[in-house]
Structure 1
Amino acid sequence: MFLLLLSGLWIGFSLMGAGVMGMLMFKLNLPPTISVWDKIGGLLANSIWNSTNSWSLTALPLFILMGEILYRTQISTRLLNGLQPWLAGIPGRLLHINVVACSLFAAVSGSSAATTATVGKITLDELSKRGYDRSIAIGSLAGAGTLGFLIPPSLIMIIYGILSDTSIGKLFIAGVIPGLCLASAYAAYIMVRAMIDPSIMPKEEESHTFKEKIAASRELFPVLLLIVVVLGGIYMGITTPTEAAAIGVVGALALAVWFKNLTVENFREAVLSAVKTTSMISFIIVGAAFLSQVVGFVGIARALSLYITGLGLSPYVLIFVIAIMYLFLGMILDGISIVVMTLPIVLPIVVAAGFHPLWFGIFLVFMVELSQITPPVGFSIFVIEGISGEKVGDILKATFPFFVIMILMVIAITAFPDIVFYLPNQMVD
């Protein structure tokens, strides 16, 4: 797979090619009437249909289009202008925008890919124009884009709750403090980097009075109102994420008309770019789904899980080895496949070792988050490559500090499980 990716082949074709090679390399016990190529064709057709035949997936192009409209009609510039006075006194200044924006959009979209693509379209180029370090901007986008798995509604938590018979409501509330801690750790890293190396920010320093900050907030109000409307509809149960995405597109168009920024040309560019980005992400989804099916079909995930459970390790060594296993699986599988394939085998062993299913659910969410920025099947890495034009190697280098921060957060919840249990323990059953 690395050879295919480094050859410059499209990511979707690279994933499919690796899957085909995997099927050909392993000896499969197929009936004489079915050739391996027939099986490959059947798995490919099945993965294409199953990974794209989803009504909830229609939210993806809509949220991307919303981000394109906000970006191309200069509304995103107003958002950054409004935040500038408030962040001017904080080390890192507008470099914190990705952490804040991803946290908000993750709750809106429910998709890591849509969150990364939407926020990236709005912030990356604008931050570069203003003189901020592009590497930090890309790294913070990749790291913060994964927050969607900890912020409800989280598809991974729902799947885990169903498979493990754990309260989904408690899983949602258990992810709040770890999610806030992770976002705060990202912000702290940006602040430390800015204090050590001020060159990552524009040289000119600005000071603003409180009156000027309030005046600048007028630039923020329209976009924040749009986010509140979209978020509010979902949390109040009035709209589904897909319906909220459609409202978001209409709202973005309305703002563009209100500010007299909408033209036929920039609307056309927004639609075409949204189509290209959606196609790119969808093609990666299809390729990853096929590779995941191949990995499951040849029994890699099951064999690895059974091997680890047979080692008879102490509880914390067991968790360490399982974490290594999930990091490895994250290189070749998407998050949902990791959970579905391994949980029936791993969970009983983890519970027998003395770990609570609720805690392990949050631990697993973190490991799935790590898989989003782990090569070669790192969805967020591919999405950022598509919207930024940067090389995968440069993106991985920029993302590495945030990857380490996430590892440290996993260690923190393992050493101090009350980070996970505090809020659920306050709930009344």
Structure 2
Amino acid sequence: MAAWAIPATLGVLVLMMMLRLPIALAILASSAGGLAMIAGPSVVMGVLESAPVSAVSNYEFVTVPLFLLMAEFVIASGVADGIFAAAAAWVGRVRGGLAIATALAGAGFAAICHSSTASAATLSSTSIPAMLKAKYEPKLAYGVVSISGTLGMLIPPSVALVLYGLIADVNIGKLFIAAVIPSVLVAITIVLTIVVMVWLHPDIAPPSRSHSWREKWQSLQVALPVTLLFLSVVGFIYTGVCTPTEASAIGAFGALLICVAMRRMTWEKAIQAAYRAARTTCMILLIVMAAHVFAYFLVLTHVTEALVLWAKSLSIPSWGILVMLYAMYLILGCLLELSAMLVLTIPVVLPMIVALGYDPIWFGIVVILLGELGMVIPPVGLNVFIVARVTGAKVNEVYASIWPHVYAHLVAVAILTIWPALVLWLPGTMK
């Protein structure tokens, strides 16, 4: 029966996804159907009764609504304009400086916002008009905004990292710290890609005006509080002063104080921020619950054990299997959202990765980085559609602008694969 249940369950899952059913419900319904085929309705009811409790019983799940609330307060404060203005004041004079400022602003905003789509939308409305006004090539502007928005998935404290930690059952605090150096590497990769593009084609990015030292220091008035908030949250986790859950509460409260200090907070904005955070939290909770049910199905069908034995029986080195998995994640990233990709693959793939001797924390960072590419690669490329919608540009034109950044990101993935210590060294020094 298990042999028939696996293709039947996957077939139902694909059909539901093609019908655009919410991914959590699609996974939940198909997994429950598969369990019913294998073990009967009584087992399904028992799993469905225990799955919600298992999903929320993890204390670290509290970080999800609090970090989301932190992001909503930051968005309400309107600091995105200030972050871009500060970056432009310091590097804008360099040829291509506004594009570099966009990458830096994207990193700064992503550190607090955690949402790739929100980052892309915000950067599209702030930095693209500034670059077009300065006579930048539109493709350069569209590409850097699309790829910079994806940093929200990787830079801690990222909700994507929390979701991976909950599904893979790894320490979320160590995941956050492990993502610090890769985040810096990716930000540098984006900047270097811009530098190379401008060096090869100087006409695509004319130099902007210089700023006085007074203007530069004044520009930091908005960016500095947000930077200090990010450093405080990550620093508290790294030093062991706070758990991720406690740090998320500090971050949400700090973002609220910033919003109040900037006189941007109203009761209406506070209620809307709480509502959006609660709605996204419920969505993530359903995804985690679906992941638990899917995991039960995998255990009963022995899929993970069979995959581990298959991987060990192959006459290719472990890095060859990694390359195959990378290719799989790039294809899935083109078709699925990151949350769906994590739920469907991590319970299956992670035991094989561990059996091959790789660290689950390192693998999580690499998977999130590959998921970033899925946000800009067709046919899904959600960030591309957001940039096109906000700017009024053609989708094909925006897609054509992202390929230099995609190739550069693949180089970053290769660097992290060859030197995994770039991921694992910092969490290894945690107290």
User: Which TM-score bucket, shorter chain as reference?
Assistant: 0.5 to 0.7
CA shift in 2, pair 1:325/1:213, >3 Å: closer
2:148 to 140, 153, 159: 140
Q: Give the 5 Å matches for 1:310-325.
A: 310-314=313-317, 316-321=319-324, 323=326
CA shift in 2, pair 1:323/1:369, >3 Å: same
- Give the distance between the partners of 1:227 and 1:156, measured in 2 at CA: 21
Question: Does 2:112 correspond to 1:100?
Answer: no
Q: Give the 5 Å matches for 1:202-217.
A: 205-217=208-220
Question: Does 2:254 correspond to 1:251?
Answer: yes
- Please give the secondary structure, in 1, of the residue aligned with 2:219: helix
> Which AA in structure 2 matches 1:127?
S
1:45 to 43, 49, 60: 49
Which residue in 2 is equivalent to 1:111? none
CA shift in 2, pair 1:361/1:103, >3 Å: farther
- Residue-pair matches, total: 386
Which residue in 2 is equivalent to 1:234? 237
- Give the distance between the partners of 2:341 and 2:109, measured in 1 at CA: 20
Question: Does 2:21 correspond to 1:9?
Answer: yes
Given that 1:230 and 1:245 are in contact with CA atoms closer than 8 Å, whether structure 2 keeps it comes out as: yes
- Give the distance between the partners of 1:273 and 1:78, measured in 2 at CA: 23
Q: Give the 5 Å matches for 1:181-330.
A: 181-192=185-196, 205-314=208-317, 316-321=319-324, 323=326
Given that 1:59 and 1:242 are in contact with CA atoms closer than 8 Å, whether structure 2 keeps it comes out as: yes
Given that 2:51 and 2:293 are in contact with CA atoms closer than 8 Å, whether structure 1 keeps it comes out as: yes
Deviations 1:244-270 (A, max 9, x none): 222222222222332222222222222
Which residue in 1 is equivalent to 2:61? 57
1:73 to 72, 77, 91: 77
Structure 1 gaps of 5+ residues are: 106-114, 352-356
Given that 2:111 and 2:155 are in contact with CA atoms closer than 8 Å, whether structure 1 keeps it comes out as: no
State which drifts further: 247-256 or 53-62.
247-256
Given that 2:178 and 2:362 are in contact with CA atoms closer than 8 Å, whether structure 1 keeps it comes out as: no
- Give the distance between the partners of 2:374 and 2:106, measured in 1 at CA: 22
Which residue in 1 is equivalent to 2:135? none
- Give the distance between the partners of 1:302 and 1:9, measured in 2 at CA: 30
CA shift in 2, pair 1:293/1:195, >3 Å: farther
Give the CA RMSD over aligned residues: 5.0
Given that 1:19 and 1:290 are in contact with CA atoms closer than 8 Å, whether structure 2 keeps it comes out as: yes
- Please give the secondary structure, in 1, of the residue aligned with 2:114: helix
Question: Does 2:114 correspond to 1:116?
Answer: yes
Please give the TM-score of this superposition, normalised by the length of structure 2.
0.68
- Give the distance between the partners of 1:291 and 1:238, measured in 2 at CA: 35
Which residue in 1 is equivalent to 2:364? 365
> Which AA in structure 2 matches 1:234?
I
Aligned-pair CA distance for 1:213 = 0.8
- Give the distance between the partners of 2:303 and 2:373, measured in 1 at CA: 18
Percent of residue pairs identical: 21
> Which AA in structure 2 matches 1:240?
T
Aligned-pair CA distance for 1:23 = 4.2
> Which AA in structure 1 matches 2:102?
L
- Give the distance between the partners of 1:198 and 1:142, measured in 2 at CA: 26
CA shift in 2, pair 1:333/1:65, >3 Å: closer
State which drifts further: 58-67 or 188-197.
188-197
- Please give the secondary structure, in 2, of the residue aligned with 1:92: helix
Given that 2:176 and 2:234 are in contact with CA atoms closer than 8 Å, whether structure 1 keeps it comes out as: no
Given that 2:154 and 2:183 are in contact with CA atoms closer than 8 Å, whether structure 1 keeps it comes out as: no
Structure 2 gaps of 5+ residues are: 1-12, 130-140, 390-394
Which residue in 1 is equivalent to 2:134? none
- Give the distance between the partners of 1:329 and 1:259, measured in 2 at CA: 42
- Give the distance between the partners of 1:277 and 1:159, measured in 2 at CA: 17
- Give the distance between the partners of 1:375 and 1:289, measured in 2 at CA: 24
Which residue in 2 is equivalent to 1:86? 90
- Please give the secondary structure, in 2, of the residue aligned with 1:71: helix
Question: Does 2:124 correspond to 1:127?
Answer: yes
> Which AA in structure 1 matches 2:287?
I
Given that 1:256 and 1:262 are in contact with CA atoms closer than 8 Å, whether structure 2 keeps it comes out as: yes
Aligned-pair CA distance for 1:96 = 0.6
Aligned-pair CA distance for 1:276 = 2.2
